[in-house]
C-alpha cells in the first residue's frame, strides 16, 4: 500500500502564486480485530480502530495489543491475518485467556491522541509492569547527540511530505535496529513494540527508543510494556511522562539535538562529558 499520494496545491509566495504537484502522506483507518477462545468457542472481537499510515500493519496490530497489556508473550499469537478493507486480525492460541473488561475500553483510538481516545481513565493502569532494575544501557553524551541526525536519515517519507512522526530503536553501538514512520506517533511506537515481540533477536532491555516529537504518558507506558528502559525525544515530555519515568526507573531525555538535551529521570545511564550539578 502506498504511503504517499500526489495532490494539486496552489503554492503562494511573496512574489507569485502557482499550481504545483505536492506529496502528502496517506492516512487510512485500520481496524484491529482479536480472535480468541471464550467459553469453548472461538470469537472475533473488534478491539480498536486507529488512523494510520499503511505499512507494517502486522507489527502495528501486535504492538498495540502488546503495549496495551492484552498480549504478554510472542507465543500468545497463533497468526496475524490481513483482511480486506483495512482490517487485520490477530489470532490467539486456544489456551490464551482474554480479559473482556480490558477489551471494552479500546474501541476507537485517534492517530493524534492517545489517552484522550480511551473510554475511561482506567486505561492508565500499568497492570503488572515493574520498575526497571539496574542502570543499563549506558550511553555517552557524544553518541546521544548524534541520534537525531541518524533518525532523520531514516525519515524518508517525512522528507517528502513533512507529515509523519517517527520512532526508532537504537542499540548501544549507535546502530538503528529498526525505524518506523506513521501519521500517529503512538502508532510509530506500537510498530516498534510489535517488531520487538515478533523478532526474538531484538533486546529491548539493551535498546533506546527515540521519537521524533514529544513524549506523553502513553509513549512512556508503551515503552515500559515493551521492555525499553531508555527513551529519547526531540520534543518536550509531559508532567505525567516524567512522573511515570521516575516511578519505573526509565531514563527520559527531552529536547534532544546535536548540541544539547535534558535528562528528566534516571541520569545514571548517561555519561556526560562534564558533570555539572
- Integer Cα distance of 106 and 247 in angstroms: 25
Tally of CB atoms within 10 A around 37: 15
Pick from 173, 164, 266: which is nearest to 224 by CA? 266
Question: Three cell numbers at 267?
Answer: 541520569
Q: Give 37's strand partners.
A: 42
**H or E stretch covering 170:** strand 165-171
114, 129, 208 from 111: Cα distances, Å: 7, 25, 23
Q: What is the DSSP string of 200-234?
A: TT--GGGEEEEESS-B-HHHHHHHHHTT--EEEES
- How far apart (Å, rounded) are the C-alpha atoms in residues 80 and 95? 17
Q: Which residues are catalytic?
A: 113
Helix or strand or coil: residue 247?
helix
Pairing label, strands 108-109, 41-52: parallel
CB 226 within 8 A of CB 249: no
Characterise 94 by phi-psi region: left (phi > 0), alpha (psi -120 to 50), beta (else).
alpha
Three-state secondary structure call for residue 93: coil
For residue 129 the three cell numbers come to 509492569
Amino acid at each position: 500500500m502506498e504511503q504517499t499520494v500526489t495532490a494539486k496545491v496552489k503554492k503562494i509566495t511573496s512574489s507569485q502564486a502557482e499550481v504545483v504537484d505536492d506529496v502528502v502522506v496517506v492516512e487510512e483507518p485500520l481496524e484491529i480485530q482479536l480472535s480468541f477462545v471464550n467459553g469453548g468457542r472461538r470469537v472475533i472481537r473488534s478491539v480498536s480502530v486507529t488512523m494510520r499510515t499503511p505499512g507494517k500493519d502486522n507489527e502495528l496490530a501486535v504492538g498495540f495489543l502488546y503495549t496495551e497489556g492484552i498480549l504478554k508473550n510472542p507465543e500468545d499469537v497463533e497468526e496475524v491475518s490481513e483482511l480486506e478493507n483495512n482490517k487485520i486480525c490477530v489470532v490467539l492460541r486456544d489456551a490464551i485467556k482474554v480479559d473482556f473488561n480490558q477489551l471494552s475500553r479500546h474501541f476507537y483510538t485517534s492517530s493524534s491522541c492517545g489517552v484522550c481516545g480511551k473510554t475511561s481513565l482506567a486505561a492508565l493502569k500499568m497492570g503488572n509492569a515493574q520498575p526497571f532494575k539496574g542502570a543499563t544501557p549506558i550511553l555517552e553524551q557524544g553518541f546521544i547527540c548524534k541520534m537525531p541526525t541518524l533518525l532523520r536519515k531514516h525519515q524518508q517519507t517525512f522528507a517528502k511530505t513533512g507529515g509523519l512522526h517517527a520512532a526508532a530503536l537504537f542499540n548501544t553501538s549507535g546502530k538503528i535496529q529498526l525505524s518506523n514512520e506513521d501519521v500517529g506517533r503512538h502508532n510509530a511506537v506500537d510498530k516498534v513494540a510489535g517488531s520487538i515481540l515478533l523478532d526474538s533477536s531484538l533486546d529491548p532491555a539493551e535498546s533506546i527508543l527515540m521519537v521524533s516529537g514529544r513524549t506523553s504518558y502513553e509513549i512512556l507506558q508503551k515503552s515500559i510494556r515493551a521492555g525499553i528502559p531508555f527513551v529519547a525525544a526531540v520534543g518536550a515530555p509531559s508532567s505525567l511522562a516524567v512522573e511515570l519515568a521516575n516511578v519505573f526507573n526509565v531514563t527520559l531525555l527531552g529536547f534532544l539535538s546535536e548540541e544539547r538535551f535534558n535528562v528528566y529521570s534516571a541520569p545514571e545511564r548517561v555519561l556526560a562529558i562534564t558533570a555539572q550539578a
